[in-house]
Structure 1
Amino acid sequence: MTVRADARRAAVLGSPIAHSLSPVLHRAAYRELGLADRSYDRFEVDEETLPGFLGGLGPEWAGLSLTMPLKRAVIPLLDTVTETAASVEAVNTVVFTEDGRRTGDNTDIPGMVAALRERGIEQVESAAILGAGATASSALAALARICAGEVVAYVRSAERAAEMRRWGERLGVEVRTADWADAAEALRAPLVIATTPAGTTDALAAAVPERPATLFDVLYDPWPTGLAARWSAYGGAVVGGLDLLVHQAVLQVEQMTGCTPAPLDAMRKAGEHALAAR
């Protein structure tokens, strides 16, 4: 997709939004690319105010990053949605194209795959997911690309279990569900993806096996999580939330500016510095 020739503005929308690292990452990319005329801001926008915000944007806008609770709410307001975004009914990127259309995409899914590939994880025979929220469905979509066998999702309710199985059927992934009480068993999988809120997996740290494989913990603040710290101490490979955030932002920068490749290293360093300062 091609952005408008006169487009110079971008921003991240969500509620709450003050914590977002997206401005840090995108501005670092603009500096590295020499795009002095580009700006990237953040705006507190919820589901109720989203239509009015979109309707007030002029031709100077190149694109938007979206976080909760807007990833599904935005879909009816768009002209087109990519197959990737449609597969999980979640849009985290909106690009205003040259023909005036609003195109929605999801860079979380290829961002997850890229973050794993960076650590040498090209394919796994099986995997486990901790949690069953929106990020878990994106994780399933990523695993559809790299997992050859079964994915076990550890959840807290029968309703969540049924939802994960439905996502598996839709995405072409063999999903088996298990009770959260047995989540310690997940830690022996070749790849464990933790998609739960801060603090949820802390109790599992004591169950990390002596020779763990790979953990992908989608949190980045606070970091490391208790689980990630123990995993790393035992010699396991750890992919963190900042890795995901940077890789998905790289794809957003490329779509919104047309500059390829986006400066991954500069963006990661800017994110690390911002987190260290918190």
Structure 2
Amino acid sequence: MPIPTAVAEPVTASYLAVWGDPIAHSKSPALHAAAYRVLGLDWEYGRRQVDAAAFAEALDGLDARWRGLSLTMPLKEEAFRAAASRDAHAELTGAVNTLLLGDAIAGYNTDVGGIVDALAEAGITETRSVRILGAGATAASALVAAADLGAESVEISARRPERAAGLIALGERIGISVEARPLDDVAAETDLTIATLPSGTVLPEGAASALAARGGALFDAAYAPWPSALAAAWGGATVVSGLGMLLHQAVRQIRIFHHGDPSTALPDEAAVVAAMRAVL
């Protein structure tokens, strides 16, 4: 009688994590855990401090139990290079904050959608003109978000306007007129200001009040501490905290991890979002 051959149990890809440096402050584990409880998923989501130099080796060290990764600074460009395929927002910005693992690694940028969704929640679904404060990595996502909202022109306000050359080129690719100015040179009024400056940034004297006077509604990607110095100076106009972006980019990540499509809603998504919002 032949000896039965052992059949290997299928591996369930149920491990996920957020990587970055620094990472101890990340709210992502709490957000994802809250969502997985509502969805009834037995997934584990942790955090790991990984810098850019260690990223490739760390990624190669993951086995078939791993479903996906969330990436924060300074790993979004590294993740872009690691992805075999990328969504349109990732291709435009050159940044990936979500990797869906498997036989071929797929990369996504959910920051763009996170900005759009956070603004929609505040009643802002379209705009003609946008001022973006800062010219770093998040500014590219802000520029693409502005395009998705229908903006025709974007002004980049930065300490070093020469750093905006890539954003000006991106504007040409997506059909938006982009110009760069120093932070203290506020030339015209705009419908919406998107601040991508690091938390705690101190603006030149008088710049915050000038920006507020001509800036329309404010979306400030910073959220700790809150209100930011910029938000506190904004007066009576609409002000949207970066917590909205954090929440909604995570919702889109969970859609990717759940069914591979950032634009298709989760089962009972309203309950999922409510649970995630409760842990912010």
Partner in structure 1 of residue 166 of structure 2: 163
The 1:149/1:5 distance shift into structure 2, 3 A limit, reads farther
**Counterparts of 1:130 and 1:84 in 2: how far apart (Å)?**
20
1:70 aligns with 2:72: no
1:29 aligns with 2:35: yes
Residue 14 (structure 1) shift: 0.6
The 1:87/1:211 distance shift into structure 2, 3 A limit, reads closer
Partner in structure 1 of residue 5 of structure 2: none
Partner in structure 2 of residue 213 of structure 1: 216
1:270 aligns with 2:279: yes
Residue identity in the other structure for 2:119: L
**Counterparts of 2:215 and 2:85 in 1: how far apart (Å)?**
42
Q: 1:79 aligns with which of 77, 81, 84?
A: 84
- Structure 2: unaligned runs, 5 residues or longer: 1-9, 260-264
**Counterparts of 1:71 and 1:214 in 2: how far apart (Å)?**
28
1:252 aligns with 2:258: no
Aligned residues: 261
The 1:208/1:75 distance shift into structure 2, 3 A limit, reads closer
Report Cα offsets for 1:40-60 as digits up to 9, x if no partner.
Answer: 000011112111111111111
Q: 1:93 aligns with which of 95, 98, 107?
A: 98
Q: Equivalent residue of 1:178, what SS?
A: strand
Partner in structure 2 of residue 52 of structure 1: 57
Deviates more, 1:117-126 or 1:164-173: 164-173
Report Cα offsets for 1:58-97 as digits up to 9, x if no partner.
Answer: 1111110001111011223222122220111100000024
Residue 159 (structure 1) shift: 2.2
**Counterparts of 1:212 and 1:206 in 2: how far apart (Å)?**
10
- Structure 1: unaligned runs, 5 residues or longer: 272-278
Give me the TM-score of the superposition, normalised by structure 2.
0.86
Residues 131-210 of structure 1 correspond to what in structure 2 (within 5 A)?
Answer: 131-183=134-186, 185=187, 188-200=189-201, 203=205, 204-207=207-210
Identical-pair percentage: 45
The 1:128/1:71 distance shift into structure 2, 3 A limit, reads same
Whether contact under 8 Å (1:127, 1:147) holds in the other structure is no
Q: 2:226 aligns with which of 218, 223, 227?
A: 223
Partner in structure 2 of residue 276 of structure 1: none
How much is the aligned-residue C-alpha RMSD, in angstroms? Answer: 2.1
The structure that has the greater radius of gyration is 2
Partner in structure 1 of residue 116 of structure 2: 113
The 1:5/1:147 distance shift into structure 2, 3 A limit, reads farther
Residue 127 (structure 1) shift: 1.1
Partner in structure 2 of residue 274 of structure 1: none
Deviates more, 1:258-267 or 1:44-53: 258-267
**Counterparts of 2:145 and 2:52 in 1: how far apart (Å)?**
27
Q: Equivalent residue of 1:104, what SS?
A: strand
Residue 147 (structure 1) shift: 3.0
Report Cα offsets for 1:3-52 as digits up to 9, x if no partner.
Answer: x98211110001111111111111111122222x2110000111121111
**Counterparts of 2:183 and 2:201 in 1: how far apart (Å)?**
11
Whether contact under 8 Å (1:212, 1:235) holds in the other structure is no
**Counterparts of 1:95 and 1:73 in 2: how far apart (Å)?**
14
Residue identity in the other structure for 2:239: V
The 1:210/1:133 distance shift into structure 2, 3 A limit, reads closer
Whether contact under 8 Å (2:66, 2:101) holds in the other structure is yes
Give me the TM-score of the superposition, normalised by structure 1.
0.87
Whether contact under 8 Å (1:140, 1:171) holds in the other structure is no
Residue 156 (structure 1) shift: 2.1
Report Cα offsets for 1:237-257 as digits up to 9, x if no partner.
Answer: 111111000000001111112
Q: Equivalent residue of 1:152, what SS?
A: strand
